[in-house]
Amino acid sequence: MTNQIQIRKPDDWHLHLRDGAMLRAVAPVSAAQYARAIIMPNLVPPVVRGDDAAAYRQRILEALPSGSSIFPLMTLYLTEKTDPGDVAAAAATGLVRAVKLYPAGATTNSDSGVRDFTKIRPVLEQMAEIGLPLCVHGEVSDPDIDIFDREAVFIDRVLDPMRRQTPGLRVVMEHVTTAEGLDYVRSSESGLAATLTVHHLVINRNHILAGGIRPHYYCLPVAKRESHRQALHAAAMSGDRRFFLGTDSAPHVDAAKESSCGCAGCFTALNGLNILAQIFDEAGKLDTLQTFVSLNGPAFYGLAPNEVQIVLVKEKTPVVFPGYIMTGDGPVTVFDPGFPVYWRVAE
């Protein structure tokens, strides 16, 4: 029985830090578990230009505790008016590591996203030329499409045609939730990868809806059937270089989650790595954990793996996590996996 493992410090390739009081509360939490993080740009107003990204990065650094090692990798929010030259300039400095595509209305703060995909072709062509990845929220927002089908429809209607029209475009399908999404990623030998979240490895749609509505499990993309969750497990533990961790940890204050129109998002920054160790351990796949959380992501983004090592220790009794963290805007509930977690990150 394995009671301790040592791995390279993980990265988070999809993270929401918000801004203001929320940023100051949640940034140190992610810094405790991850070395680098791709930072989502869906603020209000969004991070659209290189100057916006530079200013936001500075606010993040100021919110981190002294001695923190987390390095924010910035992204730009793609709009129909995004300037290809500004994107190229921001990428050339190393400030911006990706551009984020939100279909308009698909998720939190996505109103400035894309409606007419033909208008972003010049930006995508520029990105393909310089090798800058496109991170996609892979769902259509058409109200006529069932919410559980939106990922598969996005692949057929938007993503596959986009990639065919823009050869060389490097794409990360973020927070994949379906077997169809996984199969699409596997269909490409290069230039296409996917992030998988902690919460989608834990919950299916029954967790949200069966026996009462549980708003702290509500996320977008919404969790799917159990068969899809099992497919996500297999992908995460496979060692396949095309799959890596992007937590999509998305803090909202409880008042915004527990309302008549609650916000989407699960806050997993505090205990995500612990939960992953538990899941991989129970599946007998601890030997692939480092590949998923520490190696595949850097390889896709053209970065070296972290040299710093961390130790995960399995305790005899479950680790107790706080039920919430307090922010200047109010409490944020910590994701509860619904099962005991015995793994902790050694100090």
Percent of the chain with pLDDT over 70: 99
Across the chain, mean pLDDT equals 96
141 or 237, greater pLDDT = 237
146 is catalytic: no
d(CA 39, CA 75): 6
Residue ranges of E strands in 88-133: 96-101
* Catalytic, out of 11, 86, 240, 248: 248
* Inter-residue contact 27 to 12 (CB < 8 Å): no
pLDDT in tens, 224-253: 999 999 999 999 999 999 999 999 999 999
Instruction: Count CA atoms closer than 13 A to 195's CA, side-chain side.
Output: 30
d(CA 249, CA 69): 19
Element holding 60 (H helix, E strand): helix 50-63
This prediction has a pTM of 0.96
Please state which of the ranges 66-75, 107-116, 139-148 shows the lowest mean pLDDT.
107-116
Residue 109 pLDDT level (bands cut at 50, 70, 90): low
Q: Residue 87: which of 118, 60, 53 has the closest Cα?
A: 53
Residue 113 pLDDT level (bands cut at 50, 70, 90): confident
Angle, to 10 degrees, between the axis of helix 226-236 and the axis of helix 179-186?
A: 30
Asked if pLDDT for residue 347 goes beyond 80, the answer is no
Ordered domains of the chain (ranges, CATH): 4-345 (3.20.20.140)
Cα dihedral across residues 131, 135, 138, 141: positive or negative: negative
For range 67-73, the mean pLDDT: 86
